[in-house]
Amino acid sequence: MNPREDDMGQKLTATATQVMAEDLAGALRAAWRDLWGEDPQRKSICVLLAQWALETGHGKKCFNYNIGNVKSNPGDGFDYTFFPCGERLREDDAERYLGDPRVSVAWRKDGWVSLTFQPEHPVCRFRAFTSLAEGARAHLVLLRNRFSSAWPAVINGNPREFAHLLKLSGYYTADETPYANTLATLFHRFMLKTAPPEDLDISMLDGVQEALNRLGYNAGNVDGLDGPNTRGAVRRFQEAMGLPPTGTVDQETRARLAAELMKLVEASRLAEALVEAARADLGVHEEGGHNLGPRIAEYLRTVGLRPPNDWCAAAVTTWLRRAAAQAGAPPPVRGSAVAKAFIAQFKEAHRWVPASKLPESVQPGMILVWDRGGWQGHVGVVEEVHGDNLITIEPNAGPQSDAVVRVPRKLSEAKLLGGGLVS
């Protein structure tokens, strides 16, 4: 039984338990019905899915069905396990952990310290479950009881408010802005997946509100009421589309909403396909010498070059074109043999985000550009976002700069120039 009041819980071996989002959604719905006798709204499930995806890297860092990476304390009655974790703390708070051989400093900046904790330090003790159903139920109970101030944001389907209230309640130590932005991006992606635009009835006001929220115009709660938030969102959308900003949803506004929603779906599919194309080439490496090899030649042919040439930009261009073919969506840029050329192309497409603004916009599938000291630069694809920490897939990289590899990165890196939005 879990949790248990009659003992301290059992220590379990840390076991990776990656699940599909669809399976987790089903487990959350079943637990919700069992706990409270009603069906949850889709927007509530999507807030929870977004949190799971953010906290666990879409399940890649989920252990023992702990879908929110929730810590365990001695005596809480839960089974538990240990696995390495990181925490971002103020310098004064971090000092009490230093000197322990299980604790190392990842970085220091502006009064903040990022620490990495190794088992079996108490900080990396986490709740552990033996089934997805058990983990889903425990997470719902935790949010509604211990983090009750944030629960209305789950009910209302408001990911930014959820992130804000969780921060105030001490759920996470990361910066609120990137956490909230990532949560909102993931929320809207799950909303798209669970109800594509063709299923949205924008002849009704609640459908219009949901459409505006998906497009980033913040109509507030989807309640079917024509209030100031809705009218303001309609006006902002109309202004962006070059329509008269009346705040009233007329036939032309509805038509533009439908068209923009379809673009959003295509872009979301393109970003996901780009990450998959990059993942598929992990391990590709040079053969027979510097910038040589059959796969390198394939990349370079995409941009009209032959080996030996630097090939990071050529590889990303190849992935982008493969992704466009798979997603059935046109890429926002044509690509190039030169990494820094992506900057001008994304600027022309109004999709370039400078490094200073990345914490508000970075997302999986984004193409990042770095300065390497020369005229060409370097380029890679964002695979995962965890606050200031990123996992990227980069060509022409690795210890010998000769392969497609995963690279841990930080948004605070001085040589990061910015990124281009694919979705």
pLDDT tens digits along 44-94: 999 999 999 998 888 888 999 999 999 999 888 899 999 998 888 888 889
Task: Please report the domains of the chain, with CATH numbers, ordered by start residue.
Answer: 21-83+119-171 (1.10.530.10), 197-249 (no CATH), 268-420 (3.90.1720)
Q: What is the pTM of this model?
A: 0.59
Tokens of residue 98, six digits: 């230093």
Q: Find out whether 188 and 213 touch, Cβ atoms under 8 Å.
A: yes
151-202 residue pLDDT tens = 999 998 899 999 999 999 999 887 888 888 888 888 877 876 766 555 667 7
The three-class DSSP label of residue 84 is coil
How does pLDDT run across 228-254, given as a tens digit for each residue? 999 999 999 999 999 999 999 998 998
The phi, psi pair for 203, rounded to 5°, reads -75, -15
3-state SS class at 27: helix
Return the H-helix or E-strand segment holding 368: strand 367-370
Determine contact, residues 65/133, Cβ cutoff 8 Å.
no
Which has more confidence, 192 or 323? 323
- 394 within 8 A of 380, measured Cβ to Cβ: yes
Average pLDDT rounded to a whole number, residues 360-367: 87
SS3 of residue 203 by DSSP: coil
CB 162 within 8 A of CB 47: yes
Is residue 157 within 8 Å of residue 46, measured between CB atoms?
yes
